Structure 1
Amino acid sequence: MADWTPSIVEARLAEAAWVLKRLPEPRLSGYFSTWPEFAYSFADKVEQEPKLMRVLPSPKAISRMEETLTWTVGLDPVDGKIIWLRAYGTRWKEICWTVGLQRSAANQHWLFGLSVIALRLNNRRFNRNLSKQKVIKLAGAA
């Protein structure tokens, strides 16, 4: 990827959250069943609820997710939390309750975090003393 923008970063984070939701549950090792799988007849299946289809992510999607997990490491913990909550599709009202910020402040933290990630991925240096608004303009998220 040649040029990262905050919107592309947001899409990759959303994809990573989608992959994390669909990974299989971890199982404890050492526990297994010696019973064979039960083969249901048609008459048995008539009254059963259909099993939920689980779409497993592709290996490429898992690799992109693993790469994406490290992007929020150097951010302020509040910014990282807001970014991951938005990636999971959490509503702004719930995010504001969780982090204790107003909607406009939470949105600014989110844009700032996406901008910092985009600038890092583009290997662009910026002064840490810049205001959040200037960093957001520098990355082109406004």
Structure 2
Amino acid sequence: MADWNRDVVEARIQEAADVLKRLPEERVRGFFNTWPDMMVEFSDMVGRAGEPMKRPPPHPGAISRMEETLTWSKYLEPDDARLLWARADGMPWKHVCWRFGMARATAHRRYDYALCLIAWQLNGRQPPRKRSRGFVVERVRSLSR
């Protein structure tokens, strides 16, 4: 993809977080169950809450995109990467602010900057060292218009 923008990067990161949730859990090798499956009758199920349906495992293409997306954290400072993944994982802004000890506006600015910095570097540019974070955000937004 040649033209990366903030919205595309955000969608890919959210997809990667969703794929990580849907991967099968890791099991310890060598242990197994010899008990037979329990036969459940209708009378046993009366009054019980139904089990939540599990989502299917992710598609191999989605797993490949997730692996590529996980490497994008190298473009960010560790705190910005943690904030980005916490938000992609669905953590509400209030909890993000409590966890990172910052105001809502500051957390949103850092989140926005992290997405724009990833888009900036995926487009083959080096981040400017003597410019503000706002410069990178405005340039990426102006390119996506």
**Structure 1 residues 44-81: Cα deviation after superposition (integer angstroms, max 9, x where no partner):** 44454433221121111111111111111231112111
Task: Count residues with an aligned counterpart.
Answer: 142
1:95 corresponds in structure 2 to 96
Q: Structure 2 CA distance, aligned partners of 1:60 and 1:40?
A: 38
1:57 corresponds in structure 2 to 58
1:133 corresponds in structure 2 to 134
The one-letter code matched in structure 2 to 1:36 is: P
Which TM-score applies when normalising by structure 2?
0.87
Identity %: 45
Does the 8 Å contact 2:75/2:118 carry over to 1? no
The one-letter code matched in structure 1 to 2:75 is: G
Report how far residue 39 of structure 1 moved. 4.1
RMSD value over aligned CA atoms? Answer: 1.9
Which TM-score applies when normalising by structure 1?
0.89
The one-letter code matched in structure 2 to 1:64 is: R
The one-letter code matched in structure 2 to 1:7 is: D
Report how far residue 43 of structure 1 moved. 4.2
1:36 corresponds in structure 2 to 36
Report how far residue 132 of structure 1 moved. 0.5
Following superposition of structure 1 onto structure 2, how do residues 73-84 of structure 1 map, counting pairs within 5 Å?
73-84=74-85
* Runs of 5+ consecutive residues of structure 2 not aligned to the other structure: none
* Runs of 5+ consecutive residues of structure 1 not aligned to the other structure: none
What's the secondary structure of 2:73's corresponding residue? Answer: coil
1:71 corresponds in structure 2 to 72
The one-letter code matched in structure 2 to 1:84 is: W
Report how far residue 82 of structure 1 moved. 1.3
